Amino acid sequence: MNIRCIAIDDEPLAVKKIAAYIGKVPFLELVAECRSAAEAMKVMDTVDVQLLFIDINMPEISGMEFAKSLTNKPYIVFTTAYSEYAVEGFQVEAVDYLLKPITFSNFLKAVNKVKNLIELNSNYQKDSIKTTANHLFVKSDYKLIRIELADIKYIESQHEYIKIHLIGSNPVMTLLSLKSIEELLPSNQFMRVHRSYIVNLAKITVIERNRIVFDGKVYIPVSEQYKEKFQEYIDGNFD
């Protein structure tokens, strides 16, 4: 298991230190070193990131403001030189809070917490969904719901949940990651086109400016990470 990470800090030495610590941990994968929240957002638009190390005191957008702005939050570990932010950090569901100067032992404790949470969540999710060739059974609101694959239009990530949008009925919410359901869906029918979306290829009828349009009002972006694969599908199926 590799946990994809971004280190965010406006201080060059601080971000390099976190990057070096990440490099020492076998199950961590450094995706990017960012000097601002805006730079991190650009990376997150193209790569599915699971863990952020965020400095709180940054210009323009603070680490705390950045964390609060995220709708599909990865796991968050705050880094700062000021201890008074600890309570506020946990209010935005941060896994841990590292006080500078950060020791490797404290860093390792924090990332092990994240690893344990991911493993627990993965084990729970395995019990939340069952699949066959033509349908899914998912847990939602204490019920087990059967969903025909042919009825799925697209699937949307909402932090720890996914929302399965269907033809002719209300969406179904279930506690599951987009990555988990992606691994279970037939790849010849469904494609990940964005860090937050999987689409049913058979339901695509309109594509506009690198966006898939459903029902004339839902616009799903195709991100850079998935654009080449999606274009191959379009070239082979749309004349």
**HEC secondary structure over 10-22:** CCHHHHHHHHHHH
Residue range 120-142: mean pLDDT, rounded: 74
At 73-89, the pLDDT tens digits run 889 999 988 776 555 55
pLDDT score at 126: 58
- In contact, 66 and 6? CB cutoff 8 Å: no
186-193 long-range contacts, Cβ below 8 Å, gap at least 24? 186/133, 186/149, 189/149, 190/149, 190/152, 190/155, 191/226, 191/229, 191/230, 191/233, 192/226, 193/220, 193/221, 193/222, 193/223, 193/226, 193/230
d(C-alpha 196, C-alpha 188), whole Å:
19
According to the model, what pLDDT value does residue 190 have?
95
The model's pTM: 0.67
pLDDT band at 154 (very low <50, low <70, confident <90, very high): very high
- pLDDT band of residue 124 (cuts 50, 70, 90) is low
- CATH number of the domain encompassing residue 135: 2.40.50.1020
- The pLDDT, as a whole number, for residue 125 is 59
Residues 40 and 88 in one domain: yes
151 and 227 housed in the same domain: yes
- Select, from the ranges 111-115, 138-142, 176-180, the one with the highest average predicted confidence (pLDDT): 111-115
- Mean pLDDT, range 132-146, rounded to an integer: 84
Both 134 and 107 in one domain: the answer is no
What is the pLDDT, as a whole number, of residue 91? 60
CATH classification at residue 73: 3.40.50.2300
Structural domain containing residue 153: 129-237
* Greater pLDDT, 168 or 33: 33
